[in-house]
Structure 1
Amino acid sequence: MTTLPAFGRRSALGFAAAGLLAPLGAARGQQPTIRVGAPLPLTGPLAPEGIKQRNGYDFWAAAANARGGVDVAGTKHRVEIVYADYASNTPRAVQTAERLITQDRVNFLFSPFGSGAAKAASSVNERYGIPTIAATASSEQVYDQGYKFLFGTFTPNSTLTEPLAEIVTGANPQVRRVAVLARNDLFPLAIGQEMVASARKRNLQVVFDEKYAIGTMDHASAITQMRAQRPDWVFATGYTNDLILIRKQMADLGLRAPVVTMIAGPAYREFISATGRQAENITSAAWWHPAVRYQGQDLFGTTESFNQAWEQRFNAEPDYAEASAAAAGAILQMAVEAARTIEPAKVRDALAAMDATTFYGRVKFGPTGQITSLEPPVFQIQGGQPRVIFPQGIKQADLRFGVG
């Protein structure tokens, strides 16, 4: 009987189940395949975000395969993304992640969408020792569990709220009263709390700080309460469909403020299309913007070349979620090629040691696995387009006040 070496916390049964003893197809004389599991919310309220991630993963896989595949010690491996829809249900996301490992025999994982589902599923990939990249999880609570196999392409939430607060207060000292409305979910709550901290750090008065339930369709009560507090700055968090509703209902109920910030949603074409003129002057922040300029060492090369290729395929500019998903694939490819193997512990070590520039930016993971090397752009919707107002090196516009 063959004795299998132990890798991390992975059992011999889990090791065999994930198909890592040999690349798929190798025994049949075919091109070996690297299978990457991707549990996503392809239906349900988070479907817009899930579809964005799928587009990014597909874009990377197509680019890698067009070049013959991922080079593993001189042997090209074809990329296959194995998708599973968890229908925007976090407990199901956890089950789906385990099934991808134990039944679908994937070699690596991309995390489910968002901080909440990524955190919930991270215990699964840790238990099986599967290197996993989270393309849309920014909350530090995802990465503070002492796990070794999880890596994230979003910097912590404070890297968004701090520059926002600095820009707004620096441009208009009359902004004093802040209202915060957050979806009751890990990422929206966490970034709402960071906004409260950033406001109080600058001696701003937080006049409203409430949360709304997942699935809320009527925000009239919260908006009416906020309006009564006469805020100078409204800060709303949630996902695309949430924020479209909140913005429309703000307009219907006459809630206006010099500054309105929404995270995350305004970076997406869907938000701007759905809200039209009501999107004007809304501020936001994200982890990437097409205006950034990097000379990448990954298969996409420069940011410009990535943008051009994306626009040719999708007839639209990429947004940060799509770019992060494509970057997750490119980063995984770089780690595999550096490790010269698909053996999970060695790929994990290559990810932990990575310090490289990609089209998405410099990639260096901190001790918890969360990326520490990016400076997220702050932007404002002006003329129906997200225009960068920070950092200075890629600035496209100045901050405007007044959201009706």
Structure 2
Amino acid sequence: MTSNLPRRTLLAGAAGTLAIGGARAQDAKPIRIGMTVSSTGAFALAAQSGLRGAEIWVDDVNSRGGIAIGGTKRKVELVKLDDRSDKTIVPKVYETLIKEEKVDLCFGPFGSTLTAAAVNATEAADKFMVIWSASADSIYQQGYKYVVSATQQAGTLLGRPGVKAFAQLGAKKIAFAYLDEPFPAALTNGAIEEAKKLGLEVTINEKFAKGTKDFNILIQKAKATGADVFMPTAYEGDQMTIARQLREMNVEFKAVYLVYASQPQFLAIGKDALYHFSQTLLHERINWKVTGGLDRAQMMERYAKLFPNAQYAADFQTALAYGAGAALEQIIVEAQSLEAAKLKAAALKLNNKIVTVTGPYEIDETGKQFKSEFAVMQNMPSGPEAVFPPEIATAKAVYPAPPYKDRK
């Protein structure tokens, strides 16, 4: 995909000629789903990782002959246009998808910034939009009627599993810090609310600016509060720097929670990553009992088949988008329609009746997702293990973490 706008790409799936359901299914009008994908810019890697998840879902649906509506199976076409990671062009691109490409419904773009820009266009056209990655709570506070987050929790809910896990482990005090941007701020605010609800003392809540490279003062300040747990939230590069500086300064907490610590790139820093807690939706140790779509192992097998030359392995963005497609399929089957109002009613009716690769599903009237919680991981010498929630835990958490001198 190039950065020239607009560009139209169709995906009918690897089994596009499979005639399950006979000629009637083969000749039926396809379900056209529009989305934008960043080919360049800050969101390109994550957006394309999510796109591969959506393509796995389309491939799986079409290999089964499509989605049955009114007794006829209809295949899926994914219509993709480039948004170049630019929120200023996103509304126009979604208008193009709706008015010129005649899509039946939409997938959101990657992230809160672009999704917030897209949703006015979809709402104005009475089109159903499935969110797969945007976490900003503000999206669900605007009164939109036809928005559903199928897998991605809102930002203020994302940090709560970690806090719950630490409360169960016996932590009493937590020090928070966050990058001064919407996602880290929302996660931290929600985690603080959860900590207070569970009776944990919040010893500090410090924000730091984008571009910060030296976290020594912040680390020392958190340590001086007597916190059991240090929970600094930022993006992966900053968190890797914090992990290194914690060891270099020999500053120890009973637990350190770094959102991205179980990601492959983070693990590459070696012993600096050991025993840190994190969260993810996709790992070989996380295996939900799926009722909608492929399970984790099946999704990964399909990923290897469809993208043998992909630069990166599947990650939680892949799982979010795939899971969103799997949930959407059940919503369409329940609604037996592509009309936005009927899809939204079906999405609400299916609360707590869907489990995808990312976990259980439950929304409220605004479309906000309350389930599909990230699993809490801890980096053990043998690799990351799921330690919370109990129903998918593969190991007991090591708490307190051992001193740095004993980490091999």
Q: TM bucket by the smaller chain?
A: 0.7 to 0.9
1:216-231 map, 5 Å = 216=211, 218-220=212-214, 222-230=215-223
1:342-353 map, 5 Å = 342-353=338-349
| Residue 69 of structure 1, CA deviation | 2.2
8 A contact 1:208–1:226 mirrored in 2: no
8 A contact 1:155–1:371 mirrored in 2: yes
Q: Structure 2 vs 1, CA of residues 352 and 238 (structure 1 numbering), >3 Å: closer, same or farther?
A: same
2:54 is paired with a residue whose SS is: helix
2:354 is paired with a residue whose SS is: strand
| Whole-Å separation in 2 of the counterparts to 1:96 and 1:242 | 33
CA RMSD, Structure 1 to Structure 2 (Å)? 3.1
In structure 1, runs of 5+ residues without a counterpart are: 1-28
1:44-123 map, 5 Å = 44-123=41-120
8 A contact 2:56–2:302 mirrored in 1: no
| Residue 65 of structure 1, CA deviation | 1.5
| Whole-Å separation in 2 of the counterparts to 1:304 and 1:277 | 28
Equivalent in the alignment of 2:232: 236
1:336 paired to 2:321: no
2:114 is paired with a residue whose SS is: helix
2:80 is paired with a residue whose SS is: strand
Identity %: 23
| Residue 328 of structure 1, CA deviation | 1.1
Q: Structure 2 vs 1, CA of residues 72 and 45 (structure 1 numbering), >3 Å: closer, same or farther?
A: same
Equivalent in the alignment of 2:264: 269
| Whole-Å separation in 1 of the counterparts to 2:185 and 2:403 | 23
TM-score (norm 1): 0.78
Q: Structure 2 vs 1, CA of residues 242 and 226 (structure 1 numbering), >3 Å: closer, same or farther?
A: closer
TM-score (norm 2): 0.78
| Residue 281 of structure 1, CA deviation | 1.9
| Residue 162 of structure 1, CA deviation | 3.2
8 A contact 1:115–1:138 mirrored in 2: yes
8 A contact 1:257–1:402 mirrored in 2: no
Equivalent in the alignment of 2:274: 280
The code of the aligned residue for 1:198 comes to E
In structure 2, runs of 5+ residues without a counterpart are: 1-25
8 A contact 2:327–2:354 mirrored in 1: no
1:364 is paired with a residue whose SS is: coil
2:207 is paired with a residue whose SS is: strand
Q: May I ask how many residue pairs the two structures share in their alignment?
A: 366
Q: Deviations over 1:327-365 (max 9, x none)?
A: 111222222233333333333332232243233333332
| Whole-Å separation in 2 of the counterparts to 1:239 and 1:123 | 28
| Whole-Å separation in 1 of the counterparts to 2:265 and 2:44 | 12
1:325 paired to 2:321: yes
Equivalent in the alignment of 2:366: 368
| Residue 253 of structure 1, CA deviation | 6.4
| Whole-Å separation in 1 of the counterparts to 2:382 and 2:86 | 33
The code of the aligned residue for 1:337 comes to V
8 A contact 1:199–1:206 mirrored in 2: no
Deviates more, 1:201-210 or 1:305-314: 305-314
| Residue 150 of structure 1, CA deviation | 0.5
